């Protein structure tokens, strides 16, 4: 497969690349959860417009970084190239950008996943198959935004586990008409590593549970949706119960992400920028500049963490 080069939203200087990474930690490979795949002569990853034959190009992927918005993840790709000392021509446009955008930046696969569980689930399936065919050993990071539960805007919130909108510790979906429940627990080493990085950068950061909802308004107990059948007191009673259960933030994809990555056996983490403290209100009223700064904290944390980890891997391989 040939990669196309996208337009750069901002410029990065000319730098060099090094792809010879050898890993000295527990591997994070996509395990075999579907034996039918072995008997398929070909496999077209419809939403990415990639096929099994493209997988060889992804064997060196060490991190998968995904986030909701197309623009944010495109910008992240160029920021990543800059951080890793790569020329912007090293930001490779992968597949067709119809539903999602995907870039390969050195040893990192970057993609957008849209909003909500169904959207991220399709992307996760197709990236997992791609990396399984590639036998790539990669850790997966979701970057996002969230509401805080007792955390103020600007805090970096890292999920150790995701609960559903009823505060139950599993994702439930229907398979052949029957409910299937899967736990969504994240890799504590990744949680701790990212927290340390955020704190080194001077950002307030907390590790906690995340409530993942299928909806931004009623599901998250907002009073400002088009529909609301509950009182302020009901809302606060629920959010306080969530806090009591260890929930520190609310978003919309970590449950599917955590359940999927745990089931296929890869290390993963969700890290989000808190946009507001939901115990104090519902409207996201900060200025665009403030929100940009809040979102940037998660981005800078992931950039610094990925850079350090890739450098460590290179050092290890140089000394082995
Ligand atoms: C956080 O922000 C989005 C909703 O505004 C959703 O994708 C999420 O998880
Ligand atoms: N994303 C959410 O899902 N909820 C919020 O309150 C903020 C961002």
pLDDT value of position 8: 44
**For range 144-159, the mean pLDDT:** 98
- Total number of residues shown for the chain: 320
pLDDT value of position 11: 35
* pLDDT band at 7; cut points 50, 70, 90: low
Ligand 2 atom 5 nearest Cα: 147
Ligand 2 centre and the CA of 145: distance in Å? 6
| Residue to mutate (ligand 2; options 150, 252, 254; most atoms within 8 A of CB) | 252
- Residue 121 Cβ inside 6 Å of ligand 2? The answer reads no
* Window from 4-13, 42-51, 83-92, 207-216 with minimum mean pLDDT: 4-13
pLDDT value of position 19: 44
- Residue 205 Cβ inside 6 Å of ligand 2? The answer reads no
pLDDT value of position 204: 98
| Residue to mutate (ligand 2; options 113, 147, 278; most atoms within 8 A of CB) | 147
- Residue 145 Cβ inside 6 Å of ligand 2? The answer reads yes
pLDDT value of position 272: 99
pLDDT value of position 241: 98
**For range 75-86, the mean pLDDT:** 98
pLDDT exceeds cutoff 90 at 202: yes
271: tokens are 């890290």
Ligand 2 atom 3 nearest Cα: 251
* Window from 4-13, 19-28, 197-206 with minimum mean pLDDT: 4-13
DSSP letter, residue 316: H
pLDDT exceeds cutoff 70 at 51: yes
| Residue to mutate (ligand 1; options 147, 217, 253, 274; most atoms within 8 A of CB) | 253
* pLDDT band at 143; cut points 50, 70, 90: very high
Q: Report percent pLDDT > 70 for the chain.
A: 92
Task: Between 12 and 317, name the one with better pLDDT.
Answer: 317
Ligand 1 centre and the CA of 312: distance in Å? 32
Note the pLDDT tens digit of each residue in 298-312. 999 999 999 999 999
**Residue of 104, 55, 54 whose CA lies nearest to 77:** 104
Average pLDDT, the chain: 93
* pLDDT band at 289; cut points 50, 70, 90: very high
- Residue 216 Cβ inside 6 Å of ligand 2? The answer reads yes
Ligand 2 atom 8 nearest Cα: 146
Beta bridge partners of 110: 65, 103
* Window from 96-100, 228-232, 291-295 with minimum mean pLDDT: 96-100
pLDDT exceeds cutoff 50 at 10: no
pLDDT value of position 4: 55
* Window from 8-17, 205-214, 269-278 with minimum mean pLDDT: 8-17
pLDDT value of position 6: 54
* Segment 223-226 long-range contacts (CB within 8 Å, at least 24 positions apart): 223/282, 224/282, 224/283
Ligand 2 centre and the CA of 21: distance in Å? 37
Note the pLDDT tens digit of each residue in 111-125. 999 999 999 999 999
| Residue to mutate (ligand 1; options 66, 67, 68; most atoms within 8 A of CB) | 68
pLDDT exceeds cutoff 50 at 68: yes
CA distances from 160 to 15, 117, 118 (A): 36, 18, 21
- Ligand 1 closest atom vs CA 216: 4
- Ligand 1 closest atom vs CA 254: 9
Ligand 1 atom 7 nearest Cα: 115
**For range 79-98, the mean pLDDT:** 97
**For range 47-74, the mean pLDDT:** 98
Ligand 2 centre and the CA of 210: distance in Å? 11
User: pTM for this structure?
Assistant: 0.93
**For range 168-194, the mean pLDDT:** 98
Complete DSSP assignment for 226-286: S---S-HHHHHHHHHHHHHTTEEEEESSHHHHHHHHHHHT--EEEEEEEEEETTT-SS--S
Q: Report percent pLDDT > 90 for the chain.
A: 89
pLDDT value of position 317: 78
pLDDT value of position 18: 41
Residues 6+ apart with CB under 8 A from 210: 146, 157, 159, 161, 162, 163, 247, 248, 249, 250, 251, 254, 270, 272
Whether the Cβ atoms of residue 207 and residue 158 lie closer than 8 Å to each other:
yes
- Ligand 1 closest atom vs CA 68: 7
């Amino acid at each position: 497969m040939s990669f196309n080069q996208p337009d750069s939203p901002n410029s990065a200087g000319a730098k060099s690349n090094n792809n010879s990474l050898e890993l000295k930690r527990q591997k994070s490979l996509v395990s075999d959860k579907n034996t039918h795949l072995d008997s398929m002569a070909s496999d077209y990853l419809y939403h990415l417009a990639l096929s099994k034959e493209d997988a060889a190009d992804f064997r060196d992927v060490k991190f998968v970084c995904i986030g909701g918005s197309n623009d944010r993840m495109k910008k992240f790709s160029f920021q990543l190239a800059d951080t890793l000392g790569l020329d912007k021509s090293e930001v490779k446009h992968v597949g067709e950008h119809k539903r999602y955008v995907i870039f390969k930046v050195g040893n990192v696969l970057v993609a957008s996943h849209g909003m909500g569980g169904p959207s991220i689930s399709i992307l996760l399936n197709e990236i997992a198959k791609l990396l399984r065919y590639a036998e790539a050993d990669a850790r997966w990071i979701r970057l996002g935004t969230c509401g805080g539960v007792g955390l103020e805007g600007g805090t970096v919130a890292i999920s150790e586990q995701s609960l559903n909108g009823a505060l139950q510790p599993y994702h439930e979906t229907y398979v052949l008409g029957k409910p299937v429940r899967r736990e969504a627990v994240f890799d504590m080493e990744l949680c701790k590593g990212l927290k340390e990085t955020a704190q080194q950068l001077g950002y307030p950061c907390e590790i906690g549970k995340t409530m993942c909802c299928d909806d931004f308004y009623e599901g998250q107990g907002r009073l400002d949706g088009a529909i609301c059948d509950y009182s302020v007191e009901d809302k606060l009673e629920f959010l306080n119960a969530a806090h009591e259960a260890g929930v520190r933030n609310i978003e919309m994809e970590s449950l599917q992400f955590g359940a999927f990555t745990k089931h296929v056996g890869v290390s993963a983490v969700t890290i989000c920028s808190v946009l507001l403290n939901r115990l104090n209100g519902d409207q996201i009223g900060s200025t665009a500049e403030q929100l940009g700064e809040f979102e940037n904290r998660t981005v800078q944390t992931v950039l610094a963490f990925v850079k350090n980890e890739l450098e460590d891997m290179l050092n290890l391989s140089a000394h082995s």
